[in-house]
Structure 1
Amino acid sequence: MRAKDIRAKAGEEPVTMLTAYDAPTAELVDAAGVDMILVGDSVGNLRLGHESTLPVTVDDIASRTAAVTRATEDAFVLADMPFLSFGVDEADSIEHCGRMVKEAGADGVKLECGKHTVDLTDRLTDLGVPVQAHLGLTPQRENETGLFRQATDDEAAGRMLELAEAHEAAGAFSLVLEHVPANAAAAVTETLSIPTIGIGAGPDCDGQVLTVDEVIGLTEGVAPFSRAFGDVRGEMERAIESYVDGVESGDFPAEEHSHVAEGLDTDDLY
Structure 2
Amino acid sequence: MPSARSTNLKKITTHQLQEMKNRGEKIAMLTAYDYSMAKILDGSGIDVILVGDSASNVMAGNDTTLPITLDQMIYHATSVVRAVVRALVIVDIPFGSYQGNSTEALRSAIRIMKESGGHGVKMEGGSEIKESIVRVLSAGVPVMGHLGLTPQSIFKFGTYTVRAREEAEAQKLIEDAKLLEETGCFAIVLEKIPAKLAKKVAEAVSIPIIGIGAGPDVDGQVLVVHDMLGITKEFQPRFLRRYADLDSVMTSAVENYIDDVKKNDFPTQEESY
Q: Tell me the TM-score normalised to structure 1 length.
A: 0.93
Q: 1:193 aligns with which of 196, 206, 211?
A: 206
* Distance in 1, Cα, partners of 2:223 & 2:209: 14
Structure of greater Rg? 1
What amino acid is the match of 1:8? E
Shift of 1:66: 0.2
1:234 aligned partner: 248
Give the Cα separation in 1 of the matches to 2:118 and 2:93.
Answer: 11
| TM superposition shift of 1:120 | 2.0
Match of 1:268 in 2: none
1:10 matched residue in structure 2:
21
CA distance in 2, matches of 1:119, 1:4: 24
Segments of 5+ residues of structure 1 without an aligned counterpart are 260-270
Report the Cα offset of residue 119 of structure 1. 2.3
Cα offsets for 1:145-172 (capped at 9, x unmatched): 0212111021110000111100100000
Partner of 1:217: 230
Q: Helix, strand or coil for the counterpart of 1:156?
A: helix
- 1:144 partnered with 2:153: no
Task: Tell me the distance in 1 between the aligned counterparts of 2:230 and 2:99.
Answer: 35
Amino acid at match of 2:252: R
Q: Which amino acid aligns with 2:86?
A: D
CA distance in 1, matches of 2:93, 2:198: 23
Shift of 1:141: 0.6
Q: 3-state DSSP class of the match of 1:128?
A: coil
Deviates more, 1:84-93 or 1:59-68: 84-93
Is the CA contact 2:105–2:135 (under 8 Å) kept in the aligned structure 1? no
Q: Is the contact between residue 16 and residue 208 of structure 1 (CA under 8 Å) also seen in structure 2? A: yes
**Shift in Å, 1:116:** 2.5
Task: Please give the secondary structure, in 2, of the residue aligned with 1:88.
Answer: coil
After TM superposition, the structure 1 = structure 2 runs for residues 17-166 of structure 1, keeping only pairs within 5 Å, are: 17-145=29-157, 146-166=159-179
What is the alpha-carbon root mean square deviation over aligned residues?
1.0
Whole-angstrom distance in 2 between the partners of 1:91 and 1:121: 11
Is 2:257 the partner of 1:243? yes
Percent identity, aligned pairs only, is 39
Equivalent position to 1:167, from 180, 183, 189: 180
Deviations 1:10-56 (A, max 9, x none): 24210110000100000011111111100011101101011111101
TM-score normalized by the length of structure 2: 0.92
Q: Give the whole-Å Cα distance in 1 for the aligned partners of 2:68 and 2:241.
A: 25
Rounded to whole Å, the distance in 2 between the matches of 1:154 and 1:89 is 30
Between the aligned partners of 1:253 and 1:170, the Cα distance in structure 2 is 61
| Aligned residue pair count | 259
Residues of 2 paired with 1:5 and 1:253: CA distance? 50
C-alpha separation between the residues in 2 aligned to 1:40 and 1:169?
24
Question: Using the alignment, how far apart are the partners of 2:201 and 2:46 within structure 1?
Answer: 24
CA contact (8 A) 1:119 1:170 kept: no
Give the aligned partner of residue 8 of structure 2. Answer: none
Structure 1 runs (4+) deviating above 4 angstroms are none
